[in-house]
Amino acid sequence: MSTIQDSLTARRVLVTGASGLLGGAVAQLLRDTGHHVRTFQRRASTGASDEVQGSLTDQEAVARAVESMDAVIHLAAKVSFTGHWQEFVDTNITGTNNLLTAARSAGIRDFVFVSSPSVAHFGDALAGAEAGTANPQLAHGHYARSKAAAELDALAADSEDFRVTAIRPHVVWGPGDTQLVERVIQRAKAGRLPLLDHGAALIDTTYIDNAASAIVRGLERMDHAHGRALVVTNGEPRPVGELIAGICQAGGAPAPKLNVPGWLARGAGSVIEKVWLAAGSKGLVHDEPPMTRFLAEQLSTAHWFDQRETHKVLDWKPVVSIDEGIAKLRAHYSTS
């Protein structure tokens, strides 16, 4: 099997969303393997020698970002369990299309769109599922619906002259993760982290190093990957309660003991999300709600995926196991 180090000639790669955990890991891996990286983000970062500041909704800034680049890896997105639909449209749909248009105009040939399996998850359990087709009408939640629409637009732009692939890493976590790990630990410490249906749902997740290497591999294997959507996971389905307990133990938090029926959490999540959104629009809350219907579905239904096609197309396999990832997380918290 080939490795990342087998990459071809070093290229000039634009990475959007490099200020996030996954975007930062992708940018660093590209640098480590000899590629020149330019980042595009709203705010200045530290240590980036080539960066363009701006918004995906600003066409002039996007045009500056893609100038003289060979390829694009697009990770920037509005990622939230709640929020107004137009905010997701502006960043995830309009922003993606601005970037696609600018990249084609600049003569860029390869474009990796980083998506999510949620674009083809419609609330039912997924056991050994294939990637499936993104569907903005059936996907649940503003984030998933907007990413589904953006993925369809991105793949529709695929051609021999402008090659596009969609890589869908599933539930990415690792040291420094504020989206999942920090929230799990902080809510567990506060006694506000229930298990749904005893945490029995079997789910796939992806350790950060594996997610980053698969995304870079998507760029390097574009001859095989373009026109496709590929789900990326560790390929180690675990009960969600087991994974949460491991994260809690690594971060020095007690594992949750409170159990809530999944059906009750899904119903409550729908109500909480609406109330939270209304309160947020009045400036009364700023954090994510404690539960939404989408989150309840993710915690109470199986979602794990057949990885054989991904491994074949990318000529790639994960190198950090779940247990090794938990150990790395434990080491991170023991020194922080």
The predicted model gives 114-143 an average pLDDT of: 92
Report which residue type is found at 268: A
Domain-located, residue 189: no
Residue 46 has pLDDT above 60, yes or no: no
Answer yes or no: are the C-beta atoms of 23 and 79 closer than 8 Å. Answer: no
Query: What is the C-alpha separation between 16 and 76, in angstroms, rounded?
Result: 5
Confidence of residue 287 (pLDDT cuts 50, 70, 90): low
Share of the chain above pLDDT 70, in %: 87
Query: What is the C-alpha separation between 71 and 67, in angstroms, rounded?
Result: 10
Domain-located, residue 153: yes
pLDDT computed for residue 292 by the predictor: 66
Confidence of residue 270 (pLDDT cuts 50, 70, 90): low
Residue 293 has pLDDT above 70, yes or no: no
Domain-located, residue 196: no
Which among 298, 284, 301, 292 is positioned nearest to 80, based on CA atoms?
Answer: 292
CB atoms inside a 10 Å sphere around CB 94: 18
pLDDT computed for residue 1 by the predictor: 45
The pTM of this model reads 0.91
Domain-located, residue 297: no
Q: Report helix angle 240-250 to 181-189, nearest 10.
A: 80
Per the structure, the count of domains in the chain is 1
Q: Give the position of tokens 């975007």.
A: 23
Domain-located, residue 265: no
pLDDT computed for residue 215 by the predictor: 98
Question: What's the pLDDT tens digit per position in 73-82?
Answer: 999 999 887 7
pLDDT computed for residue 5 by the predictor: 43
CB atoms inside a 10 Å sphere around CB 331: 12
Q: Which residue range forms the structural domain that includes residue 45?
A: 11-176+206-233+304-319
Residue 273 has pLDDT above 80, yes or no: no
**Range ranked top by mean pLDDT from 76-90, 162-176, 290-304:** 162-176
Domain-located, residue 187: no
Question: What's the pLDDT tens digit per position in 165-218?
Answer: 999 999 999 999 988 899 889 989 988 888 888 989 999 999 999 999 999 999
Residue 285 has pLDDT above 70, yes or no: no
CATH of the domain at 138: 3.40.50.720
pLDDT computed for residue 48 by the predictor: 65
pLDDT computed for residue 336 by the predictor: 73
The predicted model gives 131-148 an average pLDDT of: 94
Find residue 126's DSSP bridge partners.
303
Query: What is the C-alpha separation between 72 and 215, in angstroms, rounded?
Result: 11
Residue 60 has pLDDT above 60, yes or no: yes
Domain-located, residue 46: yes
Q: How far apart are the first and last CA of the chain?
A: 36
Find residue 231's DSSP bridge partners.
168
143 is catalytic: yes
Question: What's the pLDDT tens digit per position in 250-264?
Answer: 999 999 888 888 767
Look up residue 279 and give its two tokens.
């309160």
Answer yes or no: are the C-beta atoms of 104 and 121 closer than 8 Å. Answer: no
Work out the mean pLDDT of the chain and round it to a whole number. 89
Question: What's the pLDDT tens digit per position in 304-330?
Answer: 999 999 999 999 999 999 999 999 999
Query: What is the C-alpha separation between 169 and 232, in angstroms, rounded?
Result: 4
Look up residue 262 and give its two tokens.
């999944």
Confidence of residue 114 (pLDDT cuts 50, 70, 90): very high
Catalytic residue among 40, 113, 143, 173: 143
Domain-located, residue 334: no
Q: 3-class DSSP state for residue 232?
A: strand
